[in-house]
Amino acid sequence: MSGFFISLVSSLGIYIILTLSLNLEYGYGGQPNFGQALFYGMGAFMTAILTSNLLFVFTHHPLANICTITSLVQRESIAASNPVATLLAWAISGLVSVLVGALIGFAASYPALRVREEWYLAMVLLVAAQIFTIIFSYDASLGCGFDGIAGISNPFAWLTSTSIPILNSNYAFPSIYAGVIALFAYLCYTLTERLTNSPFGRQLKAVRDDWLAASTLGINVNAIRAQVMVIGSAMASLAGWLYVYYIGVANTADYTSTFTFSIWVMMILGGYANNRGAITGALVLTLINELTLVGSTLVQTYIPGFNPNIVNYSKYLLESLLLLILLIYRPKGLLKESRIRTPAYTVFEDGEKNSE
């Protein structure tokens, strides 16, 4: 698998998870989340901090400052030579990151859920995301400041030390990890499909469309809103866990409000309350991101005097134009809202067909 397709598959898988997360929260549940970068970034930094320390613990090295070059080199050396420690650190950091993401999702949304106006929640999460970025950028004791936490090697980097030619090539372990990301994206899609095509999915839509009517029917509105925020936040943290092992560094520059805007465009593009639409939107914008990245590289190679950042950052202009066109001509997205197909609905649909 070439470098371009490895990057495409890895980025697409991560964006699919994030878009499914936001679609579950807002598309189905009506809970606007402008702090997607908070949960994504928290998953990434929690992963980087845990991995940096667990690798030393599992190999009986003394704990050290994770921000130093010496510590970085030691982490990379352990990851390249000790598969057991590397995979254990990868799995444990992922589990803890998801749990912490779910907990923060509940804690951040709890005060706002006391207010019936859902856009208050959006503002709370936006502010929380900005606070997270500022704290981790300026407090070097948490996330190594503006430099971030580097040296988070691919969990399959140790394959380069094996004697099997097909496994110790430069593209082997990135390809395997791209497959792992794709697998998690598929599992998240399956989970959201099961959740939304269930009584829980019906309750989500009922609360989204009219919370007062839903409450008169016995639905605990606050509980449903909290549950969908917990699930969505956990999924976003899962994406952060996968991303930091893919990119190799946790840096606050990757978790800004601009990033959250991109995830919103993906969801709007694909269509609200449609999981396949979320995948479609993620695919379109991932292609734009990857092609502009390739374009900036080509410009830098063949047009030395031209600033490659003009091409690279043109993706934000394209995203904005795409969003404006969608809102004018197709405000509901490329794919319309999908019906909830619970077992009871399937029986009803089959009965209608038989009566005809």
Domain ranges of the chain: 3-257
pLDDT, average across residues 321-348: 79
Q: What is the dihedral of CA 200, 201, 203, 209, to 10 degrees?
A: 160
Indicate if the pLDDT at residue 350 is higher than 60.
no
Handedness of CA 332, 336, 339, 340 (dihedral sign): negative
Indicate if the pLDDT at residue 85 is higher than 80.
yes
The pLDDT of residue 121 is 83
94 band by pLDDT with thresholds 50, 70 and 90: very high
Indicate if the pLDDT at residue 266 is higher than 80.
yes
Indicate if the pLDDT at residue 316 is higher than 70.
yes
64 band by pLDDT with thresholds 50, 70 and 90: confident
Asked if 311 and 295 count as a contact pair (C-beta separation under 8 A), the reply is yes
The pLDDT of residue 308 is 78
The pTM is what?
0.91
Q: Across the chain, which distance is largest between two alpha carbons, in Å? A: 74
Tokens of 175: 């390809």
Candidates 8, 30, 25; CA nearest to 207 is: 30
Q: What is the pLDDT of residues 2-41, one digit of tens each?
A: 788 999 999 999 999 999 999 999 999 998 999 999 999 9
Distance CA 274, CA 29 (A): 12
The pLDDT of residue 307 is 81
Q: Tokens 């140790």 belong to which residue? A: 158
Give, in degrees to the nearest 5, the angle at Cα 297 between 291 and 299: 100
Residues whose CB falls within 8 Å of the CB of residue 271, separated by 6 or more in sequence, listed in order: 27, 277, 278, 280, 281, 332, 333, 334, 335, 336, 337
The pLDDT of residue 271 is 92
Q: How many CB atoms lie within 10 A of CB 61?
A: 14
348 band by pLDDT with thresholds 50, 70 and 90: low
Among 30-44, 64-78, 153-167, 284-298, where is mean pLDDT lowest? Answer: 153-167
52 band by pLDDT with thresholds 50, 70 and 90: very high
Indicate if the pLDDT at residue 136 is higher than 80.
yes
Distance CA 24, CA 12 (A): 18
Which position has the higher pLDDT, 339 or 47? 47
239 band by pLDDT with thresholds 50, 70 and 90: very high
The pLDDT of residue 167 is 65
141 band by pLDDT with thresholds 50, 70 and 90: confident
- Give me the phi and psi of 50, to 5 degrees please: -65, -45
Asked if 171 and 1 count as a contact pair (C-beta separation under 8 A), the reply is yes
The pLDDT of residue 339 is 77
Distance CA 199, CA 98 (A): 24
Q: What is the pLDDT of residues 286-310, one digit of tens each?
A: 999 999 988 888 887 888 878 877 8
Tokens of 92: 């444990």
Which position has the higher pLDDT, 213 or 172? 213
The pLDDT of residue 48 is 96
Indicate if the pLDDT at residue 263 is higher than 90.
yes
176: left (phi over 0), alpha (psi -120 to 50) or beta: alpha
Which position has the higher pLDDT, 159 or 184? 184
| Alpha helices for 23-68 (secondary structure H) | 36-58
Distance CA 84, CA 79 (A): 9
The pLDDT of residue 343 is 64
Give, in degrees to the nearest 5, the angle at Cα 355 between 351 and 356: 120
The pLDDT of residue 126 is 92
The pLDDT of residue 45 is 96
Distance CA 128, CA 134 (A): 10
Tokens of 204: 């989500």
Residues whose CB falls within 8 Å of the CB of residue 193, separated by 6 or more in sequence, listed in order: 275
